[in-house]
Structure 1
Amino acid sequence: MQKTSDINVVETRPLPAPSKLLAELPKTEAQADFIARSRADIRRLIFTDDKRFLLIVGPCSIHDTAAGADYARRLAALSKEVADRVMIVMRVYFEKPRTTVGWKGLVMDPHLDGSHDIAEGLRVGRAFLREVLDLGLPTATEFLDPITPQYVADLVCWGAIGARTTESQTHRQMASGLSAPIGFKNGTDGSLQTAVNAIKAASQPQTFLGINLDGIASAVVTRGNPDSHIVLRGGSGGPNFSAAHIAQTEQLLAKAGLPKAILVDCSHENSAKKPERQPDVMRELLAQITAGNTSIMGAMVESNLHAGAQPFPVPKDQLKYGVSITDGCIDWSTTESMVREIHAALAPRFA
């Protein structure tokens, strides 16, 4: 018989059922309590008049868990200093969308050698999330593959749907079932309506194809996620964080019957893909807040131990410690100064 399926499939590798990995690396009662409290805090910052600022900051992607843990320890200490005015959530990104091809993140290729040991990637990712939570840092990640959440989402306090996937029905459906607050980025073309439509879709009950905790293909039925909001990251037309852009976003959200809750990504097109400009974007946001804006409730920053990015792929022993292999980042000293600047700028809010 003529073969008509799997013509281009070379191999299929069974993965452990999510329930097995969750049993192998369970969350502790303390971690569960911390995650629940952190999600509740994030919801308050997004949707109420809580005056604290939500800052989602950290490496573009985690490729070296030792360097990631080093960064997390520093961030945890800084977080405690500014907690009265700034809620810091660490970027713990394991999945990276690629415009064409490239390294797709720790989950997909944890050994950085093209072996694509996904089972180990899920294990390493889950273990690292637990490590960050134990430091008292809430966790943030981008949900890219619709199967990955069954393995790690119980350890995530805030999630993002990226600019490339905000328009995807699969990702909107997935977000409707996630338990954490979710930020939808505007489209790569700068379209705000794409993100607004995504927020509305994710808030509704959905039924879609997925897997259950035993790894069995299932029809997943959700009640809808009420905790979604917009993330402005600029687009092909340029940045979108100015006062005029913020006002336009407020009007669009109001017209859609959605809360005026805006988080600004200081990276990507908002910084013209120049990571060193991120603090300048932050200063503009703080100026708007100081002038009375109440819809900007937070921001996202790509930060690492050292500045910039390094070429990849290269042999692992040639990689520089604490330098991104995906998007460029600001370094730790710049991050520390920026966080303290945010804290100081928000003082009038709490007078």
Structure 2
Amino acid sequence: MSMVINKQLPLPVLLKEEYPLPPWAAQAKVRRDEEIRKIFTGESDKFIVLIGPCSADNEDAVCDYVSRLAKLGEQLSQRLMLIPRIYTNKPRTTGEGYKGMLHQPEPDKAPDLLAGITAIRKMHIRAIVETGLTAADEMLYPENRSYLDDLLSYEAVGARSVEDQQHRLTASSLDIPVGMKNPTSGDFSVMLNSVTAAQHPHNFIYRGNDVTTSGNPLAHVILRGGVDKYGACMPNYHYEDLVRLLEMYEKRPLENPAAIIDVNHSNSNKQHKEQIRIVSEVLHSRNYNPKLKKLIKGVMVESYLEEGCQTIGGEHIYGKSITDPCLGWEDTQRLLYKIAENC
């Protein structure tokens, strides 16, 4: 095989022992997980906002952002459940480019996976300890999530992974909400098939073990837009799209029907300022139709300390995305207040 083993990585249990979550923080996570669960089961009518940088590229900037978010969340806690995006794995369509802190804890240096798994665990722990907020991350590599599974309150399966069997089966083992994005084609059936698989028990191989899962009743969909055969973006956040999703959900015997609307990616054509307008349209649709109000549990927004994005290398601007462009902090504050008023 044309493969070279660079080094043996530690088992997740050993990394957790070396970098443990303090007991008081673990209890805080239990309480927060329960509050989030109640939103997806319909026991709470709070509105979820999954928000943060496109990629978590710098521990200080990310924790600074989450600290600001936590202070804002205290003011809006009657209406909103804020879940910071701390995304440490980045899918690359062609396999080229920055793959996230897991691969490159220092973005302008060579990959170092041992340093990476340590860095992402330490960053997630620091964010929880400093702010009390547990975060969301993307399940890009199903086996790698074991390094963070005691820290996360939400996971997303991306558009390029949602048809993969290992992702679906692993999602069936989670005891936290997992959002299954529509594939890049925009196909709703594929996305709902993935939710169906995640909600059922399975027997498979995971990290060299024969495992059986119980199914995840909190598995749900994320609409992120699609791309047609000509490469043009096809948004799916409009009222007609949401009604179609509702009708398709009603034909399936799924538990806790729920949807999160990703207002960036192919829904905004990566025009970051469009996220503000799209959130307003989603809230309007939700308030117009009582069934949609029950189905649409929240939105996903990309924002950071500074607006826009920058390239890796050269003069680095603190708190500015090195991948997709994001809203800046001032727009983020205004948007969150607006969501709280209108959700």
Alignment of 1:241-320 (within 5 A): 241-258=237-254, 259-291=256-288, 292=290, 293-294=292-293, 295-312=295-312, 314=313, 318-320=315-317
Give 1:167's match in structure 2, choosing from 154, 163, 169: 163
Distance 2:157 2:20 in 1: 25
Give 1:35's match in structure 2, choosing from 29, 32, 35: 29
Q: CA deviation at 1:49?
A: 4.8
Deviates further, 295-304 or 35-44: 35-44
For 2:69, the aligned partner's letter is L
Q: CA deviation at 1:114?
A: 4.6
TM-score (norm. length: structure 1):
0.91
Q: CA deviation at 1:47?
A: 2.3
Distance 2:302 2:31 in 1: 24
Distance 2:300 2:41 in 1: 17
Distance 2:257 2:214 in 1: 23
SS of residue in 2 equivalent to 1:275: coil
> What is aligned with 2:199?
203
**1:10-45: CA deviation from partner (whole Å, max 9, x where unpaired):** 333111111111001111222222222222222211
**Is 1:322 aligned with 2:319?**
yes
Asked if the contact 2:46/2:80 (under 8 Å) is kept, the reply is: yes
SS of residue in 1 equivalent to 2:89: coil
Distance 2:4 2:274 in 1: 44
Distance 2:122 2:282 in 1: 35
Runs of 4 or more consecutive aligned structure 1 residues displaced over 6 Å after TM superposition? none
Change (3 A) 1:49 1:289: farther
TM-score (norm. length: structure 2):
0.93
Distance 1:179 1:96 in 2: 23
**1:185-205: CA deviation from partner (whole Å, max 9, x where unpaired):** 001110111111011111122
Q: CA deviation at 1:300?
A: 0.3
Calculate percent identity across the aligned residue pairs. 34
SS of residue in 1 equivalent to 2:148: helix
> What is aligned with 2:68?
74
SS of residue in 1 equivalent to 2:32: helix
> What is aligned with 1:182?
178
SS of residue in 1 equivalent to 2:284: helix
> What is aligned with 2:218?
227
Give 1:120's match in structure 2, choosing from 95, 115, 126: 115
Alignment of 1:88-167 (within 5 A): 88-100=82-94, 101-134=96-129, 135-167=131-163
Aligned positions, number: 332
Asked if the contact 1:96/1:103 (under 8 Å) is kept, the reply is: yes
Structure 1 runs not aligned, ≥5 long: 1-5, 212-216, 347-351
Q: CA deviation at 1:220?
A: 2.5
Deviates further, 47-56 or 181-190: 47-56
Distance 2:91 2:247 in 1: 30
Asked if the contact 2:19/2:122 (under 8 Å) is kept, the reply is: yes
For 1:10, the aligned partner's letter is V
Asked if the contact 1:94/1:105 (under 8 Å) is kept, the reply is: yes
**Is 1:86 aligned with 2:83?**
no
Distance 1:249 1:94 in 2: 30
Distance 1:205 1:333 in 2: 44
Asked if the contact 1:88/1:138 (under 8 Å) is kept, the reply is: no
Q: CA deviation at 1:150?
A: 1.2
SS of residue in 2 equivalent to 1:153: coil
